[in-house]
Amino acid sequence: MLPNLERYRICSSEEVRRILDYLEERYGIPRSVFENYTFLVRGKNSIWIYSGHPSILELIPNVSIAGIRALHLSIKKTLKPTTIFLQVFGKYATKNVVELESEEEAVTFMSGGSIARYYDVEEGFVVVKFGSDVLGCGLYSNGVLRSKIPKTLRVRFEWFK
Amino acid sequence: MSIPQKVFKYYERYRSIIPDYDEFISYILKPLPYSIRVNTLKITPEKLAQRMESKGFILRKSKLHPWFFEVDCIDEERGIGATLEHALGYYYAQEIVSGIPPIVLDPKPWELILDMAAAPGSKTTQIAQMMKCKGTIVANDVSRERVKALKSNLDRLGVTNTIVTICDARRFYSDIMFDRILLDAPCSSEATIRKDPSLPLDLSYRLPRSFSRLQKSMIERAYHLLKHDGILVYSVCTFAPEECEEVVEYALKIGFEIEEVDIPLKYVEGVTEWVDERGRRRSYDPDVSKAIRIYPHFENSGGMFVAKLRKV
């Protein structure tokens, strides 16, 4: 998906269609959620989401950052949603959502740890929730849920003692 | 000279302009209470308050705005950022007075806003919240290092309508004009001493004078970037009239008009006359009295100067 992405630019309508297909098929997030958003490509493998006026991007020189990083294309060419994207849009997900069962599990996950347990989801990247909170992105494979919470957003165990 | 003595000596030049000066001095040596702004892009103030209180924090609504709370921490060392709610971007640890400039700016959804000196982003994220992430904010800062903090706050709070640029605001260039601009200018930061007791205080007062020149060139640049009839909010966290009223007087000379500001906290109007530490009498355009000054002893907060200007 999305080959030859070499510079920062607005996604083509074909690319947007594939991003929306992926979010709908894998997570059940309806396309309508993204009606007022622009998807951008930066570098070879990251997709950003931006809710400002698209035309402004061309009128401001030297844009360093626009919106937030939404998806990342992994080496295996699979898409990974970022935690910050899921913390905003994960509430609309209906598929491949893991619900943690205790505050202890939530703290383990938010501090970067893994949880060994069977979940009824497909293998790969999943939305991880605890109660009404969307915590972020996890990787589920072989019965283990691995935290993909970036270091900057992690919480520390001792905070909860 | 001991630290309190140096502090007393430094602020002495403001004795004639600060009401209840002795009370002021007693407050600037006290630590600043914790406060937060609820990120309504992610949670309601009621829900957040309930969650924090169930963890043992004590929250008091701020008079400024329903998004702001003063907070008593369970554990002073752990402070206010060590919670799951903070990691999830449900709130921003922000000084109450730092919430004033965006409220005066009053941005509306779908507008185009420039935040000229944005990092680390407390005001940028507050503006995004006021716009419900609709419309565009261009958040600029000169420092690549500080922009990292800005980016991480935009990420954590889930702000999607912001473009970040890194350049000297005096040379900021754009092919489009802005509806509103916030210039929360770099300053001598004299009014942040409660937050940062190690603040260097130079008794030659060179800092306020050199910042004043920088602030004037930034305000001049803002004039050229603003649409006709557009609003510029100028704010600084200092008491020095060189960086406050003198800069606003300069803004009036280059084509801005000043408007009245009203906020639900105690404040006094801008200074039109004072005598500096060398005994020189300074007077400013009487219109600068429409700007506001907030002192730490008024509401047990930090200090702030804010002016609302319109390009005419």
**Residue B56 domain flag:** no
Contact criterion met (CB < 8 Å) for A107 and B84: yes
Per-residue confidence at A3, pLDDT binned at 50, 70, 90? Answer: very low
Chain B hits for A128, Cβ within 8 Å:
none
Q: In angstroms, rounded to a whole number, what is the distance separating the alpha carbons of residues B227 and A32?
A: 34
For residue B52, being part of any structural domain is answered with no
pLDDT at A5 over 50: no
d(CA A156, CA B224): 47
Q: What pLDDT score does B204 carry?
A: 93
**Taking CB atoms and an 8 Å cutoff, what residues of chain B touch A135?**
88
B104: number of Cβ within 10 Å: 19
In a domain? residue B119: yes
Element (H, E) at B183: strand B178-184
- The third-level CATH classification (topology) of the domain covering A96-161 is 2.30.130
User: Rounded mean pLDDT of chain A?
Assistant: 91
Q: How many C-beta neighbours within 10 Å does residue B288 have?
A: 23
CB spacing of A52 vs B154 below 8 angstroms: no
Annotated catalytic, B237? yes
Say if the Cβ atoms of A60 and B87 lie within 8 Å: no
What is the dihedral sign for C-alpha B185, B190, B193, B198? positive
At residue A1, does pLDDT exceed 60? no
**B204 within a domain of the structure (yes/no):** yes
Interface with chain A: mutation pick from B86, B133, B136, B138, highest number of A CBs within 10 Å? B136
Q: What are the structural domain ranges in chain A?
A: 1-93, 96-161
Compute the nearest-CA separation of B230 from chain A (Å).
Answer: 18
> If you measure CA to CA, which chain A residue comes closest to B55?
A160
Q: What CATH code is carried by the domain that includes residue B147?
A: 3.40.50.150
Cis peptide before B120 (omega within 30 of 0): yes
Query: Please, what is the average pLDDT of chain B?
Result: 96
| Minimum distance, in Å, between the CA of residue B143 and any CA atom of chain A | 12
Q: How far is residue A84's CA from residue A46's CA, in Å, rounded to a whole number?
A: 14
> B143 contacts in A (CB within 8 Å)?
none
The pLDDT, as a whole number, for residue A4 is 28
Q: Is residue B274 part of a domain?
A: yes
**Residue A108 in tokens:** 């383990």
User: Per-residue confidence at A161, pLDDT binned at 50, 70, 90?
Assistant: low
Q: What angle do CA A93, A96, A99 make, to 5 degrees?
A: 85
A1-93 fold: Nuclear Transport Factor 2; Chain: A, (3.10.450)
pTM of the model: 0.96
How far is residue B68's CA from residue B37's CA, in Å, rounded to a whole number?
5
- The answer as to whether B233 is a domain residue is yes
Q: Name the residue facing A52 among B156, B163, B175 (closest C-beta).
A: B163
Q: How many CB pairs under 8 A join A and B?
A: 102
Q: Does the ipTM surpass 0.85?
A: yes
pLDDT tens-digit readout, B190-233: 999 999 888 888 999 999 999 999 999 999 999 999 999 999 99
- Nearest residue on chain A to B135, alpha-carbon basis: A52
> Which domain, by its residues, includes B126?
97-311
Split into its structural domains, chain B has a count of: 1
